[in-house]
Structure 1
């Protein structure tokens, strides 16, 4: 379906070499600074929460539609109607 003549940079030989080199460097840095990396882990989890919130709501169109899709058509949605509690009891 998509006839792209050129591949993305990440799938080119240069991109794969850069990714491999970055992984090797990250492995050596983590090996030498293992205690520091584990000490920062709880803070990375806390930082991930707002970042996930920002990136996961990307396609929802914002927060403007909250509360509009309530199901007011269900039975008993009106105050006290079909309820054993409240003023509609009878």
Structure 2
């Protein structure tokens, strides 16, 4: 049976004990940082929300085939559109 190089039996970094420990420490540190600075975060919340919109467009702009994947001929002729 042929297996591709992409398939491996090793778990990803986040499923290893070191990755889980790092994620746990990051979550705990983030919780305490947010808890101590909640007043500052609330002041910037509208700006962070507005900043998230263009970032999502940049990161997800090429999903579902991107903008250029639509064909020019959609099956309709000029007579069908009237």
Q: Common fold, TM-score beyond 0.5?
A: yes
Q: Is residue 2:12 matched to residue 1:8? A: yes
RMSD: 2.8
TM-score, normalised with respect to structure 2: 0.71
Q: Structure 1 runs of 4+ off > 4 angstroms?
A: none
Unaligned runs of 5+ in 2: none
Deviation of the 1:11 alpha carbon: 0.8
Name the CA shift for 1:43/1:67 in 2 (closer, same or farther; >3 Å): farther
Q: Deviation digits for residues 51-87 of structure 1, max 9, x if unmatched? A: 11112222324x4456825564375525xxxxxxxxx
Larger Rg: 1
TM-score, length-normalised on structure 1?
0.66
Higher fraction of helix: 2
